Amino acid sequence: MAPHLNIVPSMFVLLLLFISASKVQPDAFDVVAKFGAKADGKTDLSKPFLDAWKEACASVTPSTVVIPKGTYLLSKVNLEGPCKAPIEINVQGTIQAPADPSAFKDPNWVRFYSVENFKMFGGGIFDGQGSIAYEKNTCENREFRSKLPVNIRFDFVTNALIQDITSKDSKLFHINVFACKNITLERLKIEAPDESPNTDGIHMGKSEGVNIIASDIKTGDDCISIGDGTKNMVIKEITCGPGHGISIGSLGKFQNEEPVEGIKISNCTITNTSNGARIKTWPGEHGGAVSEIHFEDITMNNVSSPILIDQQYCPWNKCKKNEESKVKLSNISFKNIRGTSALPEAIKFICSGSSPCQNVELADIDIKHNGAEPATSQCLNVKPITIGKLNPIPCSGPVPKTPSATA
């Protein structure tokens, strides 16, 4: 039985939360008017922002931190709970990170930690100013990459609503969601150049009840990446591209990874990406489980690999190529997926030989190759269940002895 996808209950809880909070006029903590912040793009916002947060968090009535319009420099801020009442941040201005990556000694810029009943909104921009970082971020330069900051982190956040916020040019991931419960991200705009490395739009792990809705994501890596321990998640009405598509994984790289289950991705448009709807696991390495993953009603426009299960995921050729993936995949569906593929191999199911994919369903697929060759479908260690009209014909193409690596 599929896990319950709890977008309705979680949204209902959030609605009640903020309706009840609005009955009491929230206290406003303006970082400029009350705490002396300067919107000059030079004066560090860190202390005024943190001071406003601490006072708002200590309030026994609902409160709002306000960042007015203007441009602010922010070196770093760690916003911790728990707070005594529901708390909001109304971000109207543009908040900029230091452009020089050496200003950061750890991967944090703006971090929310252990906060419950939280809302952030206002149309503001978090600008990571990542162009210098992109030039130096290479696969050989791992120590440099380990210190690059995520634009916004949500760690151990419960019952939260993030709306109408832009994340721009993050030096690494734009938004990271870790160990959160019942958090909705809605109408977000995420943008970075298509050549920017490791700039995943939204990455999450060990979280339950995450909803990502009606957002526009343009990055140099996965638009959305779903790590271990993610359960009961809904992604819908996303426009993705450029980037690497919407991905479950990568998984199996580390010990003791928790299962991924109950993910529904629907009504999305993916354009000019290297991948579309993807599940990726490392060969060899460690075990894990992925189940009840459902991609539905998705349009692909010039996507290199529109539908992909890759259990030989091996970026930079640094993996145990001669071993099979130990991650078990089951109960996965791709339904009503249409559009165009940039390469002939529109569907690739490269499953594990030691643990073949189980209950993989293809239904009502219509993907055409943009070139002269017809679209094909490759299958390895899987026998998909097929329903309705299918183009390309399932498993119609040969699987190369060494499948091409995917980004």
Catalytic residues: 244
User: What CA–CA distance (Å, rounded) separates 384 from 394?
Assistant: 8
Helix (H, G, I), strand (E, B) or coil at 189: strand
Inter-residue contact 350 to 380 (CB < 8 Å)? yes
**Secondary structure class of 357 (helix, strand, coil):** coil
Integer CA distances (angstroms), 41 to 73, 98, 254, in order: 5, 10, 41
Q: Which two tokens stand for residue 146?
A: 């380990």
- Best CA proximity match to 117, nearest among 215, 10, 28: 10
Distance of CA 248 to the CA centre of its chain: 10
Q: Which two tokens stand for residue 349?
A: 């199911």
How many angstroms separate the CA atoms of 79 and 152, rounded?
11
CA–CA dist 104, 80 (Å, integer): 19
Q: Tokens for 386, please give them.
A: 């097929």
* Placement of tokens 């543009």 in the chain: 94
Neighbours of 271 (CB within 10 A): 18
- What is the spatial distance between Cα 348 and Cα 376, in angstroms, rounded to a whole number? 9
- Reported as type and span, the H/E element at residue 22 is helix 7-22
**Residues in the chain, overall count:** 407
Cα–Cα nearest to 295, from 313, 312, 275, 311 = 275
Q: How far apart, in Å, do the first and last CA atoms of the chain sit?
A: 33
> Cβ neighbours of residue 400 under 8 Å, at least 6 residues apart?
none
Peptide bond into 242 cis (omega under 30): yes
Joined tokens for residue 235: 């992604």
Strands (E), 54-180: 63-67, 71-73, 77-80, 87-91, 94-96, 108-113, 116-121, 125-127, 150-155, 158-163, 166-168, 175-178
